[in-house]
Chain A
Amino acid sequence: MSTIDESTNIEDTAFGKKAAGPVEWLDDRLGLAGASKRSHLLRKVFPEHWSFMLGEIALWSFVVLLLTGTFLTFWYQPSMAETTYNGSYTPLNGLEMSHAYASTLDISFDVRGGLLIRQIHHWAAALFVAAMIVHMLRVMFTGAYRKPREINWLIGIGLMVLGLVEGFAGYSLPDDLLSGTGLRFVDGLLRSIPIVGSYLEFFLFGGEFPGDVIIPRLYMAHILLIPALLLGLIGAHMLLLVYHKHTQWGGPGRTEKNVVGYPMLPVYAAKAGGFFFVVFGFTAIMGAVLQINPIWAYGPYNPSEVTAGSQPDWYMGFVEGAVRIMPNFESTFFNYTWSWNVFLPAAILPGLFLGVGVMWPFLEQWITGDKREHHLLERPRNAPFRTAFIVAAMTAYGVLWIGGGNDIIATKFHLSLNAITWFCRIGLFVLPVITFMITKRICIGLQRADANRILHGYETGVIERSPDGGFAERHAPLPVGSQFTLTNHDRLPALEAPPETDANGVAAPHGRKAKLRAKVRAFYYDGMIDKPTVEDVHHADEHLRDHDGHPVELGDEFQGVSETGVPRVH
């Protein structure tokens, strides 16, 4: 490999000289140099933090899905027509099955590397959804969705929903016993939709379940419709990211007005590009050593058979749990049957999660009244209500998830199914409230600790004896950079009561709405600790000096403190 010396420009290298012609040809037609210069693209700055990698994991696992999925399409046959299996997997030889199932067996046993690619594809799908969810949580916990990024948040929600549907469609394609059971569930869900349920069922399945068109239709959605939408939305997601520039954590020299980090070329491109290989390599190793979805063990789909412990892919677990713990309500109105026992948990509840997700940035803006742009991320502790709310939502999700595995938990831990179900039914409403309160207290405790560290410095571990014989631990002030980092966030707004009447003494319009807002707002900011004032810090600073007004001397054994003020141990 020839290295390009720092003093050599690319246009002077042998490669550059050869490439000059074609590049000029292109630029004459596309004006790339101008576009790149105007958008600063090549040297665009990206800040660094480990949590910014989560979105990247989602992005790269999507690319892995596209690559491996394309490979699978060379052999997979989306047909429910019957055939007699006659392949390398002898236990199933001679069995009647659909072409879809038979061709998936062929990919697993007769196409070299087919099993590997199938398993990478499935692992990448699980990783894709997991990464998306964790990425969303990081965006939520840090307030990265605030103005001007609300639209990117909405795009993200769209990606998440599409990701789930895409995953489910793919899971159904092999037409094995497990995936057929999943489709049977979809059939039941469609039927439960009030009034139009039977129409949706008959139109989707082309008649009575299972029919012979659902697999080809899902195939079209799985390899064309949804990936195209995902691709378009991911493109928009990335364009907006570049346009807004990534958020960053506050700190010395890192403000709302700038972005500090490494340029796209070379460091960011290398790190991100390298990371693609890591994600691909990781999923490939998973595909090599961890079995996933061994469809040959389940057998072909048969509506009168089921395997015990049927479980959907993990990301459908919360819906599964909701369906399991729902009481068996069903009623008849106007001569129609209303299957609340399926419709509420499987359609309304996910819709509720989605609705809160869509509304959240706007709800918060309505509560705080904050219309400014935000480019510095907020530490979760500095937004206790938000943090507690997310933890509460995660708790509800977790309870549902436990409900989704109630049979497995019951047999593993010898518990009564009944008891677990009731635990989940009650827990779904009670536990989120409890975790909300606990999380909020923890956040406020951490805020207080931050204020203490700024005002009283950190504990050096050195015990001093005062002239009058008392013992005290010596405190030393935080480095100014850490102090700045800890105080680099918004001050609490003043909470004034809304005017009951307007200037002329007439009852204020929207009076009730304003009152509601004031209440929610008071609750939102309730208990939060404001950061120290200028005077506090000034005062504290004097306090941390010795009697002659010199900063406290620290012995050589002190290694200082980390950015967040935790003393380094050596």
Chain B
Amino acid sequence: MSDELDRVPDTEPVRDPGLPEHQYRPTDVDAAQDKRAERQISGMFAVAALLLVGFCVGYIMIDKDQTFLGWSAMNFTLGATLGGALLLMGVGIIQWAKKLMGDHEMVELRHPAGSTAEDRADTLKDLNDGINESGFGRRPMIRRTLFLSMGALALPSVILLRDMGPLPYGHKNTLWKKGMRVVNDVAGTPIKPSDLQVGQLVNAEPAIMYEKDKDGHPVIEGTELLQEKSKAAVIVVRMRPEDITPDKGRENWGVDGILCYSKICTHVGCPISLWEQQTHHLLCPCHQSTFDLADNGKVVFGPAHRPLPQLPLAVDADGYLIAVSDFTEVVGPSYPELARDQKRLDDKS
């Protein structure tokens, strides 16, 4: 065999000694070893079959709620029997291949991946015959109009996608408006300033999300509710009034040091949740953008660019927190038309 492979050029420092001699395995030379391997392998297959029966027994006998080491007993039993059986079958087959099947290495010659020049010429001739018979080259008018129509085929395929969704309408008002009560997001109860201690943070929503119509159905529910939540969710925090440094025009947006901000991160829209009382910082759990709530929600760290929009607060006649208006800034993650929409909001106020 080695002379056939012995084509190493003379510039090579070491000649190819050719394939080493075949090494016989213990199972090739010792009948007892061979028998033992055979028994081992069949043993694995037999145990696998038993485990699979065990799988069925477990499926029928085990109760759904039974636990095993605090873990679903059903899940454990089914997985262990199935996995064990599969592993035994796999290992058995591989052992069979390794220990008992013929293990003489074979040599196959490679050929260049490309076709021979002759094959290329023949195929090219066939191609040309075909093209010439079609008259593709001789009839430019047909050819061009064919290409035209093929190109035009793109039109329906694109236009058909038009109804995937409505055209983007940019920033729409959130549910907040003048007089809308701020309610906590667990039970929908309205919040009095006295309910909040300094340093405390409450997750809140507009009261309309908890209102029912006269038949007892929620006014807003399902998908619409989720869409509105993803814009209107807020957090209400109480800080010491002297710590707060409101921007011009925002001096009256709080009630006794209670401020309200959008809960939706201006980065990519995670609900923000981690509040550090001492620093007045609010941290987004998704990419750690940090906003300073004592300083108008400005970004102090992280990938978010815009400050958290602030909702101006007041109290109504019953002493509950209400919104003075909708947000004056676009809430949620940025989008291409944001600059335009923000300008519109600015013009309005």
- Report the separation of the CA atoms of residues A261 and B105 in the bound assembly, to the nearest whole angstrom: 5
- The interface size of chain A toward B, counting residues with CB under 8 Å, comes to 133
- Report the separation of the CA atoms of residues A103 and B131 in the bound assembly, to the nearest whole angstrom: 57
Task: Give the tally of cross-chain contacts (CB within 8 A).
Answer: 358
User: CB within 8 Å of A: which of B212-262?
Assistant: 221-223, 226-227, 229-230, 233
- Report the separation of the CA atoms of residues A1 and B72 in the bound assembly, to the nearest whole angstrom: 38
User: CB within 8 Å of B: which of A184-203?
Assistant: 184-185, 187-189, 191-199, 201-203
Decide: B83 and A302 in contact? CB cutoff 8 A. no
Decide: A196 and B336 in contact? CB cutoff 8 A. yes
B185 interface contact, C-beta 8 A:
yes
Among A379-387, A530-538, A553-561, the one that faces the other chain is: A530-538
Given A274-B92, A277-B89, CB of A253 within 8 Å of CB of B83: no
Q: List chain B residues, Cβ under 8 A from A291.
A: 71
Given A202-B165, A306-B271, A336-B336, CB of A285 within 8 Å of CB of B83: yes
Chain B 80-102 interface 0/1 with A at a Cβ cutoff of 8 Å (1 = within): 10111111111111101110011
Decide: A191 and B106 in contact? CB cutoff 8 A. no
B306 interface contact, C-beta 8 A:
yes
Chain A 473-502 interface 0/1 with B at a Cβ cutoff of 8 Å (1 = within): 000000011011011100100000000000
Across the interface, name the chain A residue whose C-beta is closest to B299: A328
Decide: B168 and A263 in contact? CB cutoff 8 A. no
- Report the separation of the CA atoms of residues A273 and B285 in the bound assembly, to the nearest whole angstrom: 45
Partner of B107, one of A260, A278, A281: A260
Decide: B80 and A288 in contact? CB cutoff 8 A. yes
Decide: B107 and A253 in contact? CB cutoff 8 A. yes
Decide: B305 and A285 in contact? CB cutoff 8 A. no
Decide: B17 and A252 in contact? CB cutoff 8 A. yes
Decide: B90 and A281 in contact? CB cutoff 8 A. yes
Decide: B13 and A537 in contact? CB cutoff 8 A. yes
How near does chain B come to A57, taking the closest CB pair, in angstroms? 12
- Report the separation of the CA atoms of residues A251 and B214 in the bound assembly, to the nearest whole angstrom: 85
Decide: B94 and A302 in contact? CB cutoff 8 A. no
Decide: A185 and B268 in contact? CB cutoff 8 A. yes
- Report the separation of the CA atoms of residues A531 and B205 in the bound assembly, to the nearest whole angstrom: 73
Across the interface, name the chain A residue whose C-beta is closest to B286: A310
B188 interface contact, C-beta 8 A:
no
- The interface size of chain B toward A, counting residues with CB under 8 Å, comes to 103
- Report the separation of the CA atoms of residues A294 and B72 in the bound assembly, to the nearest whole angstrom: 13
Q: List chain A residues, Cβ under 8 A from B110.
A: 245, 256-259, 375
Across the interface, name the chain B residue whose C-beta is closest to A252: B17
Decide: A201 and B285 in contact? CB cutoff 8 A. no
A243 interface contact, C-beta 8 A:
yes
Given A209-B227, A304-B185, A407-B288, CB of A203 within 8 Å of CB of B103: no
Q: List chain A residues, Cβ under 8 A from B25.
A: none
Decide: B165 and A324 in contact? CB cutoff 8 A. no
Decide: B223 and A192 in contact? CB cutoff 8 A. no
Decide: A187 and B286 in contact? CB cutoff 8 A. no
Decide: A302 and B226 in contact? CB cutoff 8 A. yes
Given A188-B267, A310-B270, A537-B13, CB of A198 within 8 Å of CB of B336: yes
Among B3-11, B26-34, B139-147, B148-156, the one that faces the other chain is: B3-11
Given A191-B334, A407-B285, CB of A341 within 8 Å of CB of B79: no
Q: List 15 A-B contacts (CB under 8 A).
A: A191-B335, A197-B335, A198-B336, A213-B165, A263-B106, A271-B98, A281-B84, A284-B82, A301-B226, A304-B264, A306-B271, A326-B303, A407-B285, A480-B14, A534-B11
Chain B residues within CB distance 8 Å of chain A: 1-2, 5, 7-8, 10-20, 42, 59, 64-65, 71-72, 74-76, 78-80, 82-94, 96-98, 101-103, 105-110, 112-114, 161, 164-168, 170, 185, 203, 205, 221-223, 226-227, 229-230, 233, 263-264, 267-271, 273-274, 285-289, 299, 301-306, 333-340
